[in-house]
Amino acid sequence: MSEKGNSVVIVGGGATGLSAAWWLAQDGVDVTVIDKGIVGWEASGRNGGGCSHHFSPLFAEEQRLWPQMDALLGYPTEFQPQRIRIAFDEAQFALYAQAMRNAAHQGFSSDILNAADIRRLVPLAGEDAFGGYLYKFGGHANPHRTVQAYAWAMQDHGGRLMQHTAVEGFERSGGRVSGVRTDRGVIGCDHLVLAAGPQTRHLAAMLDIDVPMVAARAEMIVTEPLPLMPIGGVDGNGLYGRQTLRGNLAYGGGPHEWVEVTGNKVPPRASTPLMRPLAGRLARLFPRAAHARVLRSWAGIIENTPDGRPVIDRIGNVTLATLSSIGFGLSPASGHAIRDLVQTGACDFADLSSFRLERFAQLEPDWIALQGWQTGQSNPIA
């Protein structure tokens, strides 16, 4: 026990861990975030910045919080509301309607767009769109700025940040975790939150908890700045991404690569010639941007649970938090949910039953092979 109340250590300085720390620090909890490197250095700083997760129980809270985040944090997130999704054929158009139905179920509306609407709303789009949707919810933010904003806001409320600190193990007493062993000494805690992305499995295993997950590498590209479109969050043609407020097009999509994560080490985030089909798809999505120059490509390593859904669950005085490859946009709400679990043992604003670890109790030992998530190559493609 510290003077400020129970002490919480959060392992993982990504969007999820830092948001949880920010929520806890606002409650006056003595919170410390430990990261092996720099905040937001992994998937939290390498994603598309989307904030439109209509299938999640955290959706309503995500939508409530994002428009307030600049003011709540005190630092800019570059949040911009609304999203458009463009379909190039009837099949894509039918597929993308699911978002509209899910959001409607939760009280959010969308407009159906025809080709003329798209030309009007998306100046960089071309003539060949089949149709699309204007989602009057969601939006996008700048992942780099947001993650740093969480860290600074958390520190403003008295939270502590230990970067470049590697976790080596845990101290346990009486069936509870009492401390985190790091390369900079033991940090005592009354509660532990594991929000370490692909390393969560390894860390949980040290506590005899099995969190099934496999890591994958996914790639994005960014172009030089272009004149701003009225709505920057425009997806479609198998791509996700956004036009940044500076004007760059930052987009990803397409195949991922399942990779091995050994222990606590993240493999290098190498990008590959996948840049070329990404560029081709982006030039089709925005024909009037085909001249725009690609300045960088990059990759991130993200984890997925067997069903691709989060685990946000509390076992004793340990709270597990993996958002299963969809974490950035939900982070204002996931941090709130983690705060609730840590403080009261239950989330008071959303039904998290679909996030429980127990749903994998009957999972096959060879689930990775059954789902084809093993690594390995063979068939040539251009």
Partner 1 sequence: MHDPASINGHTLKPEEQTALLVIGAGPAGLKAALAAVRAGVQVVLVDENPVPSEVMGDDIPLLFGNRMTGAARNRSAMLEAFVESDPLIAEAFDAGVDVRLGTIAWGVYGNGPSVGWMPGPVVGLSDGVRSWMIGCERVIVATGSRDMGLAFPGWDLPGVLGMTAALRLATRYGALDAKRAVVLGSTSAALDGARQLRALGVEIVAVIETAEAALAPADDFTALTGGVVCRAEGGMDGVTALVVSADGVEQRVECDAVLLAISAVPVIELLDAAGCRIEFSGSRGGHVPVLDADGRTSQAAISAVGDCAGIACAHDVAAYRMDWVRATVLASEDTFVCRCEEVTAREILEIRPPRYLNWPDERRNRRDLRALLGEGAPNPDQVKRLTRAGMGVCQGRRCREQVACLLALSAGCELSEVPLATHRAPVRPLPLSVAAGQEDPALAAHWDTWFGMKAQYVPFWRVQPHYTAATRNDGGEVSSE
**Residues 32-51 contacting partner 1, CB under 8 A:** 38, 45, 50
Helix (H, G, I), strand (E, B) or coil at 76: coil
- Least distance (Å) from partner 1 to the CB of residue 231? 16
Q: Are 206 and 168 in contact (CB under 8 A)?
A: no
**322 binding partner 1? (CB under 8 A):** no
**292 binding partner 1? (CB under 8 A):** yes
**Token couple for 309:** 């859904």
User: What one-character-per-residue DSSP string does 213-249 give?
Assistant: -EEEEEEEEEEPP-PPPS---EEETTBEEEE-TTS-E
Q: How many whole angstroms separate alpha carbon 149 and alpha carbon 66?
A: 13
**111 binding partner 1? (CB under 8 A):** no
* CA distances for 103 relative to 45, 96, 137, 239, 304, angstroms: 26, 12, 8, 20, 24
**378 binding partner 1? (CB under 8 A):** yes
Sign of CA dihedral 306, 311, 316, 319: positive
**206 binding partner 1? (CB under 8 A):** no
**359 binding partner 1? (CB under 8 A):** yes
User: Total residues contacting partner 1 (rule CB under 8 A)?
Assistant: 110
**26 binding partner 1? (CB under 8 A):** no
Among 67, 209, 258, 343, contact with partner 1 (rule: CB under 8 A): 258
**5 binding partner 1? (CB under 8 A):** no
**376 binding partner 1? (CB under 8 A):** yes
**Is residue 367 within a helix (H) or strand (E), and if so which, with residue range?**
helix 367-371
- Least distance (Å) from partner 1 to the CB of residue 153? 9
Residue 274 CA, chain-centre distance (Å), reads 21
Among 36, 202, 242, 281, contact with partner 1 (rule: CB under 8 A): 281
> What angle do helix axes 15-26 and 143-156 make, rounded to 10 degrees?
30
Among 2, 68, 114, 375, contact with partner 1 (rule: CB under 8 A): 375
Closest to partner 1 by CB, 121 vs 301, is 301
User: x/- binding map, residues 70-89, to partner 1, per CB under 8 A?
Assistant: ----xxx-x-----------
Closest to partner 1 by CB, 59 vs 170, is 59
Q: What are phi and psi of 277, to 5 degrees?
A: -60, -30
Helix (H, G, I), strand (E, B) or coil at 360: helix
Closest to partner 1 by CB, 135 vs 177, is 135
**343 binding partner 1? (CB under 8 A):** no
Q: Which residues are CB-contacts of 18 (< 8 A; sequence separation ≥ 6)?
A: 10, 33, 39, 40, 147, 150, 151, 154, 331, 335
Chain positions 298 to 317 lying near partner 1, rule: CB under 8 A, are 298-299, 301, 304, 306-309
Sequence length of the chain is 382
Position of tokens 């590697």? Answer: 166
**64 binding partner 1? (CB under 8 A):** no
**283 binding partner 1? (CB under 8 A):** yes
* CA distances for 242 relative to 65, 143, 356, 378, angstroms: 20, 11, 32, 34
**115 binding partner 1? (CB under 8 A):** no
Among 2, 98, 109, 344, contact with partner 1 (rule: CB under 8 A): 98
Chain positions 166 to 205 lying near partner 1, rule: CB under 8 A, are none
Q: How many whole angstroms separate alpha carbon 323 and alpha carbon 331?
A: 9
**269 binding partner 1? (CB under 8 A):** yes
Closest to partner 1 by CB, 139 vs 317, is 139
Closest to partner 1 by CB, 5 vs 72, is 72
Angle at 275 between CA 269 and CA 278, to 5 degrees: 120
- Least distance (Å) from partner 1 to the CB of residue 146? 11
Q: Are 16 and 195 in contact (CB under 8 A)?
A: yes
- Least distance (Å) from partner 1 to the CB of residue 175? 26
